[in-house]
């Protein structure tokens, strides 16, 4: 991809992260924001700013309710540039953009499926988009060049591009992005008024499920209201399942409770792996090793002897503990042959898990 001059309007989490990622690839970056403190921090993080009089690309990274006006304003001054936004809603925006025929030709809408529960440039990361999906929504008149530029941009920030229509985007986002935020916030809201001594007992599960509840209320209220029709469909489905659970619990119906929980297991398994790829069907091989130097290297030597390809691994070990648990993720066939080989070589191998 040729080096571009890129103007980013909006120095929040996403805009600043995008600036950092593109700057690291050698592109010329200028980032601006109406919030002087946010802009100052973003400028310090990104470093030297390019003086762009005619940028190749202008990306609007601001709250959804401001995107169209900023696109219109920027197009008036830079009609030869290409334009993109990175907002979380598409249908209404694309309808408005298509009302400006020349802008529509040079515009593509993006939605990086990446973010954090904390906002602002202070939370920005250059690797925020790596191994994530980048949803690309074109107008009915977006040029081939504009769409290709969006695909190339995805590669520059480490994302995988996916073309998706505006309505399809908003429908999917209601379930996979907005519902998690809603459920997290509602659960966290039930904690208000809970005695501190009870909350002191909280473990990782509560923190995990309520992580998204730390997000910006102003940002998310606009996103939720902007996708009202699609979100209501998802919330009604969720409410129906919740009522089923309440009924089963009230009637001491253990079989129905187990069925609902099993459906949760099934739904969890449907969530794909990195950047929208199919979730790999790994077999997990647990191996206990001694806490001494070189053990992990020896284990990988054994893998090489039988040509077993390790897809992933986890290590469970605490300081001072004499042993550790290494769990290798492999294909089913590799797990079988490696397990047999390690047992014959005297390793402490335990039953494979799915």
Residue 272: per-residue pLDDT: 76
DSSP summary character for residue 274? G
Q: How many helices (H) and strands (E) are present in the chain, helices listed first?
A: 15, 11
287 and 265 in one domain? no
Residue 255: per-residue pLDDT: 97
Q: Is residue 318 part of a domain?
A: yes
Q: Is residue 306 part of a domain?
A: yes
pLDDT digits (tens, 9 = 90+) for 199-243: 999 988 999 999 999 988 998 999 999 999 999 999 999 999 999
188 and 130 in one domain? no
Q: Which helix (H) or strand (E) holds 297?
A: helix 295-305
Name the nearest CA neighbour of 124 among 10, 5, 276, 6: 10
157 and 56 in one domain? yes
Q: Is residue 110 part of a domain?
A: yes
344 and 227 in one domain? no
With a CB cutoff of 8 Å and minimum separation 6, the contacts of 254 are: none
Domain ranges, residue 311? 283-349
Name the nearest CA neighbour of 85 among 49, 61, 54, 103: 61
137 and 188 in one domain? no
Strands 283-290 and 348-349: antiparallel
Residue 55: per-residue pLDDT: 95
We report the CATH number of the domain holding residue 119 as 3.40.50.720
Tell me how far apart the alpha carbons of residues 152 and 58 are, in angstroms, rounded to a whole number.
Answer: 15
Collapsing DSSP to helix, strand or coil, 217 comes out as helix
**pTM more than 0.85:** no
Residue 273: per-residue pLDDT: 65
125 and 191 in one domain? no
184 and 269 in one domain? yes
- For the chain, list residues with pLDDT below 70: 273-280
130 and 144 in one domain? yes
Number of domains in the chain: 3
270 and 248 in one domain? yes
- Domain limit, last residue, from 274, 301, 331: 274
Residue 275: per-residue pLDDT: 54
We report the CATH number of the domain holding residue 297 as 3.30.2130.10
Q: Is residue 354 part of a domain?
A: no
Residue 174: per-residue pLDDT: 96
- Domain limit, last residue, from 274, 300, 329: 274
Residue 281: per-residue pLDDT: 74
37 and 121 in one domain? yes
Residue 11: per-residue pLDDT: 95
We report the CATH number of the domain holding residue 270 as 1.10.3660.10
147 and 20 in one domain? yes
194 and 134 in one domain? no
Tell me how far apart the alpha carbons of residues 188 and 304 are, in angstroms, rounded to a whole number.
Answer: 47
- Domain limit, last residue, from 132, 148, 164: 164
């Amino acid at each position: 991809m040729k080096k571009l001059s890129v103007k980013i309007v909006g120095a929040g989490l996403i805009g600043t992260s995008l600036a950092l990622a593109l700057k690291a690839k050698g592109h010329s970056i200028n980032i601006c924001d109406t919030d002087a403190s946010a802009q100052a921090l973003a400028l310090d993080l990104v470093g030297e700013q390019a003086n762009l009089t005619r940028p190749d690309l202008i990306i609007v990274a601001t709250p959804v309710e401001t995107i169209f006006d900023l696109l219109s304003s920027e197009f008036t001054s830079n009609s030869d540039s290409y334009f993109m936004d990175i907002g979380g809603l598409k249908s209404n925006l694309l309808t408005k953009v298509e009302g400006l025929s020349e802008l529509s030709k040079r515009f593509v809408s993006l939605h990086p499926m990446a973010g954090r529960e904390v906002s602002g440039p202070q939370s920005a990361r250059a690797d925020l988009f790596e191994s994530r999906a980048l949803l690309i929504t074109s107008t009915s008149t977006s040029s081939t060049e504009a769409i290709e530029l969006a695909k190339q941009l995805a590669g520059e920030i480490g994302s995988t591009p996916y073309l998706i229509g505006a309505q399809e985007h908003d429908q999917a986002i209601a379930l996979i992005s907005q519902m998690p935020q809603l459920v997290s916030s509602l659960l966290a809201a039930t904690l208000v008024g809970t005695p501190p001594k009870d909350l002191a007992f909280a473990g990782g599960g509560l923190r995990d499920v309520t992580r998204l509840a730390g997000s910006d209320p102003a940002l998310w209220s606009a996103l939720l209201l902007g996708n009202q029709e699609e979100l209501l469909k998802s919330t009604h489905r969720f409410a129906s399942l919740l009522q089923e659970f309440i009924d089963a619990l009230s009637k001491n119906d253990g079989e129905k409770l187990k069925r609902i929980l099993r459906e949760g297991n099934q739904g969890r398994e449907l969530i794909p792996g990195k950047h929208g790829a199919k979730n790999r069907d790994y077999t997990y091989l647990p191996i206990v090793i001694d806490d001494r130097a070189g053990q992990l290297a020896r284990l990988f030597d054994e893998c090489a002897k039988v040509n077993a390809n390790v897809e992933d691994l986890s290590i469970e070990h605490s300081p001072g503990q004499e042993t550790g648990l290494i769990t290798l993720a492999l294909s089913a066939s590799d797990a079988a042959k490696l397990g047999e080989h390690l047992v014959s070589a005297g390793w402490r191998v335990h039953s494979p898990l799915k």
